[in-house]
A = this chain, B = another copy of it.
């Protein structure tokens, strides 16, 4: 399930736009903090008031962006460093008390490589809820109760993903849901280099109005931490960006709907429009590395440190 990122989907980019456009130095109701750790850059945005939410067009909540160095020379070291950073950020963003199990939800389609990130993370999470039921005395000290779900996608199940997640949440009653999803990015540079965390859930589509299909605290009744990684760019987005740049550069007076669509339909085959993605050739390795980073980050964040010593 590719969730399409609007230009404003990254809270730090939204904040940047606001500052630029308003020519002020601060944004009321929004705190931002930028830091780095070795090769990794982190931006932490917190929307604290309704005014802030209006200013940058994002609901009240926390948004963290982790930027990975795509050219890290040592692959294993890089995976470990990002996993450790994720642990820190996840622990910061989590609700304070976590008595009931944590439920990791791997969104996406395991048969389509760039959409398989969520299911691949689930495969590597250290799942323990059943051990507490089957052999409670044998669970090592410091291990927490974690369970996981890979609900599939609408095209494979015929059931809205949120319906499946909600059903199982009602049965399992987790303290928090951590949902991982592949994203379609606006920018090729973001593909596989950005991990986004938020505590506002996943709101497919515009995010406006009530969304029955969201995976969020509102629909599930428990807190939701969303982890998203851009893994593709929609081909129509890429082509559209080209057109927009030329329009801007040449100050063309186009009817955006008609003239632009005309070009897009000539470039993209009409029959496949919307089903064509732009992706690095090495997408398999990319997804493998990302899933290891995120699964380890989750394992480190929820189980106590001594489990990994």
Give me the interface of A with B, judged by CB distance under 8 Å: 70-71, 74, 76, 80, 101, 110-113, 115, 122-123, 127-131, 145-150, 152, 154-160, 163-164, 166-168, 170-172, 187-189, 191, 235, 238-239, 241-243, 245-246, 249-250, 252, 263, 266-269, 271-272, 275-284, 308
Interface on chain A toward B: helix, strand, loop, or mixed SS?
A: helix
* Chain B residue contacts of A148, Cβ below 8 A: 152, 156-159
A235 and B278 contacting across the interface, CB-CB below 8 Å: yes
* Chain B residue contacts of A74, Cβ below 8 A: 308
Given A129-B158, A188-B272, A276-B278, 14 more pairs with CB closer than 8 A: A76-B76, A101-B158, A115-B281, A127-B158, A147-B158, A149-B159, A167-B168, A167-B171, A189-B269, A238-B267, A242-B243, A242-B267, A250-B252, A277-B280
A293 CB to closest chain B CB (Å) equals: 12
Cβ contact of A150, chosen from B150, B189, B191, B241, cutoff 8 A: B150
A299 CB to closest chain B CB (Å) equals: 12
Cβ contact of A276, chosen from B111, B159, B188, B268, cutoff 8 A: B188
Q: What would be 11 A-B contacts, judged by CB atoms less than 8 Å apart?
A: A112-B282, A123-B156, A148-B159, A149-B157, A168-B168, A188-B269, A191-B272, A238-B267, A272-B280, A275-B280, A277-B279
Known: A156-B122, A158-B130. A245 touches B271 (CB 8 A): no
B252 and A157 contacting across the interface, CB-CB below 8 Å: no
Who on chain B is nearest to A187 by CB? B269
* Chain B residue contacts of A163, Cβ below 8 A: 168, 171-172
A180 CB to closest chain B CB (Å) equals: 14
Cα A76 to Cα B124 in complex, Å, equals 13
B267 and A241 contacting across the interface, CB-CB below 8 Å: yes
Who on chain B is nearest to A74 by CB? B308
Cβ contact of A166, chosen from B110, B171, B277, cutoff 8 A: B171
Cα A221 to Cα B160 in complex, Å, equals 22
Cα A148 to Cα B271 in complex, Å, equals 27
Cα A241 to Cα B276 in complex, Å, equals 16
Cα A281 to Cα B263 in complex, Å, equals 22
